[in-house]
Structures are given as C-alpha cells and as structure tokens.
Chain A
Amino acid sequence: AQTVTQSQPEMSVQEAETVTLSCTYDTSESNYYLFWYKQPPSRQMILVIRQEAYKQQNATENRFSVNFQKAAKSFSLKISDSQLGDTAMYFCAFMKGNAGKSTFGDGTTLTVKP
C-alpha cells in the first residue's frame, strides 16, 4: 500500500515571498503519478500541478513548481510570489498508474499574510 506524508500541518508566508511545501511518499510501484491539489476555504479541490514519475524534469505551472526527487521519494511544491488567493489547504496525492488508485496526504494549511 502507498503512503503519503505531509510533515508540515501549517505554514505561513508573506505576500510576494516564496514558500515550499514538503511531501514524501512510500511505494514499490514504478508507474505512478504525483499531484498537488489546492482546497481553498469552503471551496472545491482543484489541481495545482502534476508530475509523471518517469520524467526527470520537474513540472512547472506559472508560479508553481515542484522538486521531484524520485530516489528520495520526495515531491515538494514551491510557490513563488505568493498571493493572498494562495491561502488554502494543499494536498499531495499519489496515483498508481493504470488503475488510477489514489492516496492523499493529510494536507498543509498555507496562510498568505498581507
């Protein structure tokens, strides 16, 4: 079974600064995908960024980027130029290839301060 660990329950950052959220996972699978989802207060969960495990290049999406260390089973999310709208709970998720079975971490609550 896969496990996903987010060791930072809460974090805060000043507006316009950079913050990094940590995620580690444990799996024996070779074919898998990793995702970061954002869940704003009282709003729906949406995708932030995704990474295929077979790709060495780290994914980027505008102000969001990941540091994927496959050997260390680490998948951190970096948010640059933080904005007030980035305030949310962030979940790291593991998806097994082919079957699409998902495991989520317990999340990190990020607060962006003005």
Chain B
Amino acid sequence: EAGVAQSPRYKIIEKRQSVAFWCNPISGHATLYWYQQILGQGPKLLIQFQNNGVVDDSQLPKDRFSAERLKGVDSTLKIQPAKLEDSAVYLCASRRRGDYNEQFFGPGTRLTVL
C-alpha cells in the first residue's frame, strides 16, 4: 500500500508570511495526526483528527495555526503569520482504527522561517 504523502518536502519563508502543508494519509486510515518536530526534540502533537472531526488540538497555537481535514481524507495545516520559532519539521501520520495499531509517518516538511 502507498505510504503517507506530504508536500512540499522543504519550504523557506520570511517571518510573517503564510505557509500551507498538505498530507494524504494511507487509504482507509481514519486517524490523522500533525506533529511539530523541532531539531533535537521528539514530535509534539499539534492536532489529531478522527475522520474529519478534531479529537485533540490542545497544543495547536490557534492564533496562527489552523488545520482541516475535508471529507476525512486529505488534510492541510496552515501557519499565518509564521514566526522564527516555527522553524521545524512538520510530520503527518495516520493510523487504522484499533488501539493496537501504530502510526505510519510521512517524510515530513522541513520549514525554515527567516
């Protein structure tokens, strides 16, 4: 089966600009996660979707970050406006139903904010 797809792979922007990331999960995976991974740290959960509903967005900086998952499939994560501290890798992961199932990760989008 095809893996989790993410685009773009790399993005460089100036601070205060906007940026959007796209994720296509594995077909049939109901749960989708967006993580922020700062260099040298573990992934930090930004938002979790179950189908097209939000399960957890408690760590999403809602004043500048937004995410949606239309029709319970693809998802986009937007940052507007970006800050220097948003420089990180943004990982998307998906998971089948069932607690035992692991997350499958995409290759990530490396964002550099100048």
Contacts and interface: CB of A to CB of B under 8 A. Distances in A.
A95 B99 contact: yes
A37 B102 CA distance: 10
Interface residues of A, number: 26
A102 B56 CA distance: 10
A103 B41 CA distance: 12
A44 B3 CA distance: 10
Contact of B107 (A44, A98, A107): A44
A90 to B, nearest CB: 10
Contact of B31 (A4, A46, A100, A103): A100
Interface residues of B, number: 25
Contact of A98 (B42, B99, B102): B99
B99 A103 contact: no
B31 A104 contact: no
Interface of A: 4, 6, 31, 33, 35, 37, 43-47, 50, 52, 91, 95, 97-107
25 contacts: A4-B42, A31-B99, A33-B100, A44-B107, A45-B91, A45-B105, A46-B105, A47-B102, A50-B100, A50-B102, A52-B100, A91-B42, A91-B43, A95-B99, A98-B99, A100-B31, A100-B50, A100-B95, A101-B45, A101-B48, A101-B55, A101-B56, A102-B33, A104-B43, A104-B44
